[in-house]
Copies of this chain bind each other. A is one copy, B any other.
């Protein structure tokens, strides 16, 4: 029996305990041995909970117990998760985490420490919940140069966009609804400002290029400015608005950014609705591929963590090398990226044409404003031209 510990008994941590229980037998078969949770680290006591006897409050109990081989970190946030995970790896224990903040910031360092200690540090659940995108990149798409990864990586915002589109509601109303359903937290900024998606695309880009992508370098726009009027225009154009995290290899380096996009029905991510996540990948020989599934939620995310535990159990005595060096990569300058833009402005067509030349107009029946789509141009060029107009809203077009 392999002894494990779970640090953080919140939604995902308790889901891990549940999945290990639900699929006990098949997990034992696939791991080569049963997996038993010996400790659960949490500041709370969980009196009356079946795991009550396993609760410890001091992470050193786990680090100091030589019987513990696998540690799950599902606490979230950089500290104290970082201190705890480092202690576990240093003590020669394998670790899996669902914590994108930790992985985005400390992934390279923790992978190096794991290699040094001949253990493994896995983090499948940190991106895309139950979608096995990290394992796919690291061990399946190994014949390809990955030229693009574009993802719907945040379930909360995708739920909100879907609901705004279907029901014609305003942003504030769907946010309240998402909070009531437990999809959005009381402080929803990590989701709606795009910070969560930003950390996830930083992790995926780091894995693709094998070096450190600092999430603070990534241009990030959330969905807070999207309105019911924008959705009307989207419908008129036959497009859907999705918060995309984009990472593209360009001659000037990796172009990485997070922003809402208007997708046409031909885009593989167009139909990804509700809390689902999806990752589009383009490889230089593979061509287009897309992976879709539950991006969040207790059991799907726990499924990914437990799959990591099975992977760790199968590689108890050897480190699986992962190329993610701590050297920081410089991203392509955001101002030089090229996009087409949909613009809503209080200015008239004369002003629009003076600034942008001939454009494609979109009329969603909203009085007192002009909607139009620009040709493809750099961000800098767009900014310069748009300065002449009284702009109400800008959304990039996602074309393939």
For residue A290, CB closer than 8 A to chain B, the reply is yes
- Give the chain B neighbours of A31 by CB distance below 8 A: 142
Binds B, one of A62-70, A234-242, A280-288: A280-288
Are A297 and B293 in contact, CB atoms less than 8 angstroms apart?
Answer: no
Binds B, one of A46-54, A300-308, A332-340: A300-308
For residue A144, CB closer than 8 A to chain B, the reply is yes
- Give the chain B neighbours of A131 by CB distance below 8 A: 289
Take A285-B22, A287-B130 as given contacts and tell me if A139 and B311 are in contact as well, using a CB distance cutoff of 8 Å. yes
Most buried by B among A30, A31, A144: A144
For residue A143, CB closer than 8 A to chain B, the reply is yes
Are B143 and A136 in contact, CB atoms less than 8 angstroms apart?
Answer: no
Take A286-B300, A293-B287, A303-B286 as given contacts and tell me if A136 and B142 are in contact as well, using a CB distance cutoff of 8 Å. no
Are B323 and A303 in contact, CB atoms less than 8 angstroms apart?
Answer: no
- Give the chain B neighbours of A299 by CB distance below 8 A: 285-287
Are A287 and B300 in contact, CB atoms less than 8 angstroms apart?
Answer: yes
For residue A27, CB closer than 8 A to chain B, the reply is yes
Are B302 and A285 in contact, CB atoms less than 8 angstroms apart?
Answer: yes
* A378–chain B nearest beta-carbon distance, Å: 29
Are B293 and A144 in contact, CB atoms less than 8 angstroms apart?
Answer: no
Most buried by B among A143, A271, A284: A143
Are A144 and B23 in contact, CB atoms less than 8 angstroms apart?
Answer: yes
Take A130-B287, A290-B293, A297-B287 as given contacts and tell me if A307 and B268 are in contact as well, using a CB distance cutoff of 8 Å. no
CA–CA, A140 and B135, complex, Å: 7
For residue A29, CB closer than 8 A to chain B, the reply is yes
Within 8 A of B (CB), among A100-142: 124, 130-132, 135-136, 139-142
Are B294 and A291 in contact, CB atoms less than 8 angstroms apart?
Answer: no
Interface bits A9-46 vs B (CB < 8 Å: 1, else 0): 00000000001001100110111000000000000000
CA–CA, A306 and B297, complex, Å: 35
For residue A4, CB closer than 8 A to chain B, the reply is no
For residue A5, CB closer than 8 A to chain B, the reply is no
Task: From B285, B292, B303, give the contact of A283 (CB < 8 A).
Answer: B303
* A80–chain B nearest beta-carbon distance, Å: 27
Are B141 and A132 in contact, CB atoms less than 8 angstroms apart?
Answer: yes
* A146–chain B nearest beta-carbon distance, Å: 10
For residue A180, CB closer than 8 A to chain B, the reply is no
- Give the chain B neighbours of A293 by CB distance below 8 A: 286-290
Are A284 and B143 in contact, CB atoms less than 8 angstroms apart?
Answer: no
CA–CA, A304 and B139, complex, Å: 11
CA–CA, A30 and B137, complex, Å: 12
CA–CA, A303 and B304, complex, Å: 25
9 contacting pairs across A/B (C-beta < 8 A): A130-B286, A135-B140, A144-B303, A144-B307, A285-B300, A286-B294, A286-B303, A286-B304, A288-B294
